[in-house]
Structure 1
Amino acid sequence: MLKRTGVILVVFAALVFAAGTAQSQIPKDTIVHGANTDIFITLDPGICFEVLPSAIVKNIYAKLVEVKLEDGKFVVVPDLAEKWEMADDGKTWTFYLRDGLVFDNGDPVTAQDVVFSLTRVVKLQKSPAWLFTDVLGLTEESVTAIDDKTVQIVTNGAPPNIVLTNLGGSNGGILNQKVVMANEKEGDMGEVWLTDHSAGAGPYVLKEWKRNMMILLTANPNYWGGEPALKTVIFRDVPEAADQFLLLKKGEIDVAHNLTAEQANELKSATDVRVVTTPGQSDEYVGMNAGWGPFQDNRVRQAVKYAIDYDAIIEKVRAGFAINNQQFLPVGYFAYVEDNPFTQDLEKAKALMAEAGYADGFEVELVTNTTEIRKNEAIIVQENLAKIGIKATVNIMQASQMYAKFRQQGINLIVAGWGVDYPDAAALADPFANHRVNQLAWRLAWLDDHAADLAEAANKELDEEKRFQLYRELTQYWHENGPFAMMYQPVQYWGVRNELKGAEEAFEGYSVHCDFTRLSK
């Protein structure tokens, strides 16, 4: 019976891709996404690190804990573990699994499966591994089974939010060890097989993946949270935004993932389609090399911050799909408090330039990459800086070339962005303020030991109130002294058919959170 059902699903999926498929042909228990799937490499939770593939992985694999938004803030809630505790040493964690947990094939979920899954990430040493090894300090011996339902994890003493949010990421997905090892080849711990198969305990099962065509998920009837309302989830490969836009309007897809801002704004007046938004997990910034010429003077760096028209960039480049957030902490993160001290004030900027001895301005190369958004940002920044005497020549580079030069402290003025690796303040404080980790602050030669000390202290502090105050102190100091003018935090958006309910909750906090079980028709 299962085999026959699988055949029916595959045949149905094929029908969805036929030209002229109408919305009425898509059952109420099925959702069709339109997305560019070119970025998909693997759906193995120990390897997958790209945004949309990771969102799918989150719905195939359950974790010890889940990260979600509540009242606009990221929180950690139980998933496979119904409770947990941290020992007095601040390093040893104990997780207690729920009763009656099973994988999609009916096998019981045990503590041994948890040990295998988390240790496997460390052993594979693929893209997500550093979140366990470097951030949490995990080794192959760090995770042990106390009994079939109890797991112990020994960390490097990272604060609770760092530990839990990393375990709640897609790389924390728990695998059925028996199934994975039955498909092992040449000691790969199932890596080849898990590229396009699944062995999880999440709400969905990976049924089929036809590259550059479609990905088919089916509901897991054994999911501990109850079988999802939508029994079939299809990701249809639609690379072009214009095609997604037309298919959405015609009712041939339920969700469009890659619309332009202009297309999304056009949908706001539609009666059968709506636009769903959530704050994005990244920052867009102007970076100044604090070791180069005029930018060595903090008054010049402050002048740049007052020269930029932040509102114009948000409206002209992002068509309104961005948040005026001038700190490195995204909305919803621990220690985030709205704090935007800069607005365009050309007179103040000119006065700061004069105080620093640059009343007549100076020349500088402004580097960015080839994406349309970055080029448009650079043009506006160039126009803004010209008003205070800074003559910026825009140099468009391939991203690989630009970042290679940037990592060698070879760029004096840059327009770029930074994606967040896990939802904790430490994931931003280190790159933006701590030169010792050799990321953004170091690339801009901002070798400020006070900022680095604050970041390191906050990143290790176990007392949440003290940790909060350290980040607030760091943020204020960073505003006053740092080499960054933060332009905005992007807003993620989707075009969604009105008959699809729950999209606002399902995509809230994307890409940290994505929950297809919230969707229904």
Structure 2
Amino acid sequence: MSVSPRRLRTGALALATLAVISTTACTAGGSGGNANSGEAKTLTVNTSFVLKTLDPGRVYEATGLTAVHALYDTLLTFEGSDVGKPVPALAESYDASPDAKTFTFKLRSGVTFADGSPLTADDVVFSLNRLKNIKGSPAVTVSELSVSKTDDSTVVVTSATPNPNVPVVLAMPSTGVLNAEVARDNGAKDGADAAQGDTAQQYLDTNSIGSGPYVLKSYEPESQVVLEANPNYWGDKPQFERVVLRNMDVQTQKLTMQRAETAEISLDISGKLLDGLPESLQTSGVQDTVYFLFLNADPAVSAVTANPKFNQALRAAIDYQGIAALYGEGAAPGAGLVAPAFPGTLPASEASTRDVAKAKALLAEAGLTDPTVKFNYPAITYKGVDLGTVATKVQGDAAEAGITLELNPQPLTTFLDEMRSGKSPLGFTPQSLNYPVADSLINNMAPGQATALRSGWTVERADPAIVAAGEKVTETLDLAARATAMQEWQRLMNQSSPYIVLASNSSTVVATADLTGADYSAAGWQVDVAAVGLR
């Protein structure tokens, strides 16, 4: 997939970590300009740091994932913007059992860690067991997995339940393979007591012990992280000998990129913020974020939003094309809960459309005259878009159909607390996937699941067809067929779930014209810095 000058490329990620949004640092990291003034070729990556650790077993935040992906190899990986199919990395091949419970990985020969020692199956087993047992944030992805080896080059991963997405999980940066001997020497544990006994994080924040294309040179979590090329890397050598991740707020990123000339990337300029950038810059993006309304289905919270006819009336009242326009380049009207970046998305032709006359008729059928509902939303700007602007547009659209929405902007923490309490009658939020498995939405948003219960949506209040459609997704082991089942689930959800999908928009990599391979990835690491080169 080629990179186009100043024309956003969009391509085919369980709920957005909204709490993380509020912690993003906003400090300028430098003045930009030519990053290669010295002899060593340096790639500069500007991003507003969301960074807590570089320990693969604990890493969960965006900036950490970008760095860890460059420092540690995984069994499988993704190339460029394609998150549809994992490709070989440490594992040259793998086999899956018909019941999707047993996955056998054949390790490639000749792989060494950065210190020159060989990587074997023991290191893989140790790393995956440690990830599971220290029970950090990313451990949920491997909680049902068991890991063993049959010989020094063969690893067997077993799932307690059928799970065709195991290969995708094993491409995530948190499954990066550590040098087990060095890790143990510095406090790492992989046993059942690891959650209490593992003390390796401090060491791993300042030392990398992986086999990736880069090694960690310096770690300053408030300002910058510096990577240097691994001289013992087994794969294709990265073109840049040095990568500097700089902590920089998004407005400063935009100013920096407006004058940048060589080897510079920014990760947070998206949406309307792309306006005004020089045409010479490159942009790469995929629609990986969905924005949706949630209506409370519990009559005790709101008799209005719990009314199925009101639900359908509000759906019909919204100007989806107009809302998508508020998001700028790379946005599209909402079709379903799966963003276009992932398998299982609905085609653009199925995007929702407006019908004000239908909305008014549905309100009449519901026996509702001038209904009024409190509309909560977080008072933040996300991916270049002020969510208040979108909420005001929804309010205006609803008013044309006879629905009054009382806007209630809230600080993020207040919004989250009220949403989690299940007391919000109507709310608005973005959603991204923490790892590229769209059917993980079933575990969150299907009736009776955690996110659904925050909207009072129990199994008893749901259409039985939706429940059955969700069960079909999880029972389908072929990934192509599962993606089709996800589409059918979304179509039913669009008819009667408490979620109204407004739009999807793109995360974006903005790069100088001299770079190749600066593709945005929805796999979590944003950009594969080792794949970036000079033209």
Task: Work out whether 1:382 is the aligned partner of 2:395.
Answer: yes
Deviations 1:137-158 (A, max 9, x none): 12xxx21121111111110233
Farther off after superposition, 388-397 or 288-297: 288-297
Q: Which position in structure 2 is the counterpart of 1:369? A: 378
Q: Using the alignment, how far apart are the partners of 1:85 and 1:303 within structure 2?
A: 49
| C-alpha distance in structure 2 between counterparts of 1:494 and 1:20, whole Å | 16
Question: AA paired with 1:177?
Answer: A
Range moving further from structure 2, 287-296 or 92-101: 287-296
Tell me if 1:474 matches 2:456. Answer: no
Q: For 2:324, which of 298, 314, 317 is the aligned residue?
A: 314
Seen in structure 2, the aligned counterparts of structure 1 residues 329 and 69 have a Cα distance that, compared at 3 Å, is: farther
| Separation (CA, whole Å) in 2 of partners of 1:428 and 1:258 | 25
Partner residue of 2:123? 113
**Secondary structure in 1 aligned to 2:404?**
strand
Q: TM-score, normalising length from structure 2?
A: 0.85
What residue number does 1:143 align with?
147
What residue identity is the alignment partner of 1:502? G
Give the aligned partner of residue 350 of structure 1: 360
Q: How does 1:416-427 map to 2 (within 5 A)?
A: 416-427=429-440
Which has the larger share of helix? 1
For 1:347 and 1:293, locate their aligned partners in 2 and report how far apart those are by CA, in whole Å. Answer: 23
Structure-1 residue corresponding to 2:281? 274
Helix, strand or coil: the match of 2:227?
strand
Alpha-carbon shift at residue 89 of structure 1 (Å) = 4.4
Which amino acid is the alignment partner of residue 159 of structure 1?
N
Task: Pick the aligned partner of 1:56 from 67, 77, 82.
Answer: 67
Structure 2 counterpart of 1:233, one-letter code: V
Residues in 1 aligned to 2:453 and 2:397: alpha-carbon distance in whole angstroms: 26
Q: CA-to-partner distance for each residue in 1:264-286, whole Å, 9 max, x for gaps?
A: 2211xx25x41413124332101
Mark the runs of 5 or more structure 2 residues left unpaired by the alignment: 1-27, 189-195
What do the CA deviations read for 1:476-506 (whole angstroms, capped 9, x no partner)? Answer: 21111111111112211233211122213xx
Aligned residue in 2 for 1:336? 345
2:421 and 2:29 mapped to 1: Cα distance? 47
Counterpart position of 2:450? 438
Quote the residue 1:210 is aligned against.
Answer: 220
Rounded Cα–Cα distance in structure 2 between residues aligned with 1:341 and 1:35: 32
SS of the residue 2:234 aligns to: coil
Partner of 1:35: 47
Question: Where do 1:388-407 residues align within 5 Å?
Answer: 388-407=401-420
Alignment correspondent of 1:455: 470
For residues 23 and 418 of structure 1, do their structure 2 counterparts lie closer, same or farther at Cα, with a shift above 3 Å needed?
A: closer
TM-score (norm 1): 0.87
Instruction: Say whether the 8 Å CA contact 2:324–2:331 is kept in structure 1.
Output: yes
CA offsets per residue over residues 352-398 of structure 1, 9 Å max, x none? 1112212x221110001120322221111111111111111111222
> Within 2, Cα distance between the matches of 1:288 and 1:187?
44
Q: Aligned residue for 1:247?
A: 256
Superposed displacement of residue 69, structure 1: 5.7
After superposition, the Cα gap between the structure-2 partners of 1:324 and 1:513, relative to the gap in structure 1 and judged at 3 Å, is: same
Matches within 5 A, 1:17-36: 22=34, 25=37, 29-36=41-48
Following TM superposition, by how much is the alpha carbon of 1:426 offset from its aligned partner in structure 2, in angstroms? 1.5
Q: Distance in 2 between matches of 1:450 and 1:307?
A: 25
Work out whether 1:152 is the aligned partner of 2:164: no
Number of the residue aligned with 1:7: none
Deviates more, 1:147-156 or 1:176-185: 176-185
Tell me if the contact between 1:120 and 1:189 (Cα under 8 Å) persists in the aligned partners: no
- Give 2:505's match in structure 1, choosing from 479, 484, 490: 490
- Report the alpha carbon displacement of residue 320 of structure 1 after superposing the two structures with TM: 3.1
Amino acid at match of 2:290: D
> Is this contact kept in 1: 2:56–2:175, CA < 8 A?
yes
Q: How much has 1:97 moved relative to structure 2?
A: 0.3
Q: Is 1:284 paired with 2:288?
A: no
User: Per-residue CA shift, 1:383-419, capped at 9, x if unaligned?
Assistant: 1111111111111222222222222220111011222
**8 Å CA contact 1:68, 1:74 repeated in 2:** no
SS of aligned partner of 2:137? coil
C-alpha separation in 1, matches of 2:287 and 2:134: 29
- 2: CA distance, partners of 1:234 / 1:201: 19
CA distance in 2, matches of 1:465, 1:243: 42
Q: After alignment, is 120-129 or 333-342 more displaced?
A: 333-342
2:135 and 2:285 mapped to 1: Cα distance?
32
Q: Secondary structure at the match of 2:516?
A: coil
Secondary structure, counterpart of 2:166 in structure 1: helix
CA distance in 1, matches of 2:490, 2:31: 53
| Count of residues in Structure 1 that have an aligned counterpart in Structure 2 | 487
- The answer to whether the 8 A contact 2:304-2:373 is kept is no
Cα RMSD (Å) of the superposition? 2.4
Q: How do residues 184-223 of structure 1 correspond to structure 2 at under 5 angstroms?
A: 184=187, 187-223=197-233
Q: Deviations over 1:186-228 (max 9, x none)?
A: 9425222112321111111111112322211011232232211
| Residue identity (%) | 26
1:17 & 1:465 partners in 2: Cα distance? 44
Distance 1:460 1:143 in 2: 23
Q: What is the rounded CA distance, in whole Å, between the counterparts of 1:130 and 1:82 in structure 2?
A: 26
Q: Which structure carries more relative contact order (alpha carbon 8 Å, separation 6+)?
A: 2
User: Secondary structure at 1:223's aligned position in 2?
Assistant: coil
Summarize deviations over 1:311-364 as a string: whole Å, max 9, x none. 222222x22342323201121423223153421221121111112212x22111
Pairwise CA distance, 1:308: 1.2
**Distance in 1 of aligned mates of 2:296 and 2:38:** 54
Shift of 1:53: 1.7
The verdict on how the C-alpha distance between 1:403 and 1:456 changes in structure 2, with shifts beyond 3 A counting, is: farther
CA distance in 2, matches of 1:486, 1:262: 20
Cα deviation 1:147-185 (Å, max 9, x = unaligned): 11111111023332x211111111111111111122228
Could you say if the C-alpha distance between residues 121 and 73 of structure 1 is closer, same or farther in structure 2, counting changes exceeding 3 Å?
Answer: closer
Q: State whether residues 334 and 352 of structure 2, in contact with CA within 8 Å, keep that contact through their aligned partners in structure 1.
A: no
**TM superposition shift of 1:250:** 2.6
Change (3 A) 1:402 1:431: same
- Report which stretch shifted further, 196-205 or 451-460: 451-460
> Structure 1 residue 100: deviation in Å?
0.8
The aligned counterpart of 1:5 is: none
Moved more, 374-383 or 241-250: 241-250
CA 1:243/1:394 → structure 2, altered by over 3 Å: closer, same or farther? same
Q: Measured at CA, do residues 512 and 281 of structure 1 come closer, stay the same or move farther in structure 2, by a change above 3 Å? A: farther
Cα deviation for residue 36 of structure 1 reads: 1.8
Please tell me whether the aligned partners of residues 77 and 88 of structure 2 are also in contact (alpha carbons under 8 angstroms): yes
Structure 1 contact 111–148 (Cα < 8 Å) conserved: yes
2:417 counterpart SS class? helix
169, 172, 183: which is aligned to 1:169?
Answer: 172
Change (3 A) 1:217 1:91: same
Contact 2:74–2:176 at 8 Å: present in 1 too? yes
Structure 2 CA distance for partners of 1:228 and 1:155, relative to 1, 3 Å: same
State the SS of the aligned residue for 2:468: helix
**C-alpha contact 1:67 1:512 (8 A) present in aligned 2:** no
